[in-house]
Structure 1
Amino acid sequence: MFVLAELKDNVRIAPDHFNLKLVDAVRDEIDRKLANKVLLNVGLCIALKEIVSLKDSIILPGDGASHTEVLFRYVVFRPMVGTVITGKIRSCCREGVNVTLGFFDDILIPHAALQHPSRFDEAEQAWVWEYPLEDGGKHDLFMDVGEPIKFRVSREIFEETSPIGPPKAEGQAAQNASTSAAAAAASAAAQEVKTPYKIIGAINESGLGVLSWWDQQGKEEEQDGEDGEDNTEYDNDDEGEGACEE
């Protein structure tokens, strides 16, 4: 789930940090720049592991800061496809179940990857697994917000995001308002929902899903086993008493 990525960067150290040791200043700057950031096709950066090498620092003309080429290893969150992870349900919608790990929220279990058959309850705003019973009936198992859930990573999605440019001048914006208002609104909406790194999960196999489902099933099976053992011992005692009487 967590991997070590070897990265290279040209780190800029401002003059007001020259009082620190170079290694400490570089470490602080790398963490400030990368911590909790997503690198394209790398993953979510968590923390600096170690600095492998530091090259000579240089000062460029017109810039009082130093620039140092650094090779380092960084702890990155990027689970492999097929990994089973336990998180908590953050919310439910018609698209599926949104899961959080506490430090990472962009996890979606699509409705097609839920236990079958499942339905979305509008009143409760939760997905419900219609668990089939032996008598042909169904028992509703809700996927409530905050419940621990175990899922398998089915795929990952990286999207390149770029900063939004400055607003146009008022005169130019007024001229193009009538022709491009709808396009601008659609573009803004698309940029709002775009996430740089998303994980797609699945729970449509035995043992996956809300943990309480399987805990309850295990308790019921254990209780059934204990009841069966008690009956067996009782029957053996009866047979023994009958033999003695004869």
Structure 2
Amino acid sequence: MFVLSHIKDTIPIHPSQFGVPPEQALISELNKKYANRVLHDVGLCICVFDIMEAGEGKVRYGDGFLWYTVVFRMTVFRPFPSEVILAKVKSSDEDGIQLSVGFFDDIWVPLTYLPQPSAFDSNERAHFWLPGSEATTSHELLDSPTSERMYIDQGEIVRVRIEKDEFYDDEPGPPMATEGVQVKVEARRPPYTITCSVAEQGLGPTSWWKQAEAEVMDEG
């Protein structure tokens, strides 16, 4: 889930920080710059792990800052494909399920990666799985007894497998106009999204499998 990424940068230290040990001042400035920021094709930066190299601070004409060239390792959130992680259900709609790991919310389970057969219950605002059912349409599934449905409710802890991640770099710009008519500006996409699956044995709400284990033990 977490990896260490090597990054090189040039960091300024304000004169008010000259009394602080250089490494401590650099780590503080690096965290201000990178923490909670998505780096394209790298991931979501969490915090500085350590500084590997740091040159001597140099003063540039006109500002009074000490500028350091540093090579450091950053702790980055980027689960790898096929990794299994735990997340919490944040919300559900007709398109799928949104998950959260607390500090990152752009995790999605689309319809194609839900256990089959499944459907979305608009009254409960949750998807449910109907194991063993031969129903092929949402209408047939929604006619099933609620006692037989296995819901994926909001707030539940789910075990998911990472399928892929995607980075977007939607640069903001002025709204475009064509022949005097303003063109609708599309909503910006999150800079980093993760797609997951719960369509395999052992995946989904952890409560499903705890119940299954308890039933097996009872039978034993």
Same-fold call, TM cutoff 0.5: yes
CA contact (8 A) 2:59 2:65 kept: yes
For 1:219, the equivalent position in structure 2 comes to: 214
Q: For 1:23-38, what aligned pairs fall within 5 Å after superposition? A: 23-38=23-38
Unaligned runs of 5+ in 2: 135-143
Measure, in 1, the Cα distance between the counterparts of 2:179 and 2:104: 40
For 2:110, the equivalent position in structure 1 comes to: 110
For 2:43, the equivalent position in structure 1 comes to: 43
Q: For 1:18-97, what aligned pairs fall within 5 Å after superposition? A: 18-97=18-97
What is the deviation of 1:47? 1.4
For 2:137, the equivalent position in structure 1 comes to: none
For 1:4, the equivalent position in structure 2 comes to: 4
Change (3 A) 1:28 1:180: farther
**Bigger-Rg structure (1/2):** 1
Measure, in 1, the Cα distance between the counterparts of 2:210 and 2:181: 56
Measure, in 1, the Cα distance between the counterparts of 2:124 and 2:167: 32
Give me the CA root mean square deviation. Answer: 2.1
TM-score normalised to the size of structure 1?
Answer: 0.79
What is the deviation of 1:56? 2.0
For 2:201, the equivalent position in structure 1 comes to: 206
The amino acid of 1:32's aligned partner reads K
The amino acid of 2:163's aligned partner reads S
Counterpart of 1:132 in 2: which secondary structure?
coil
The amino acid of 1:72's aligned partner reads F
TM-score normalised to the size of structure 2?
Answer: 0.88
CA contact (8 A) 2:117 2:133 kept: no
The amino acid of 1:110's aligned partner reads P
Query: Which runs of at least 4 in structure 1 moved beyond 4 Å after TM superposition?
Result: none
Measure, in 1, the Cα distance between the counterparts of 2:180 and 2:131: 53
Counterpart of 2:149 in 1: which secondary structure?
strand
Aligned length: 209
For 1:196, the equivalent position in structure 2 comes to: 191
Residue among 129, 132, 145 paired with 2:154 = 145
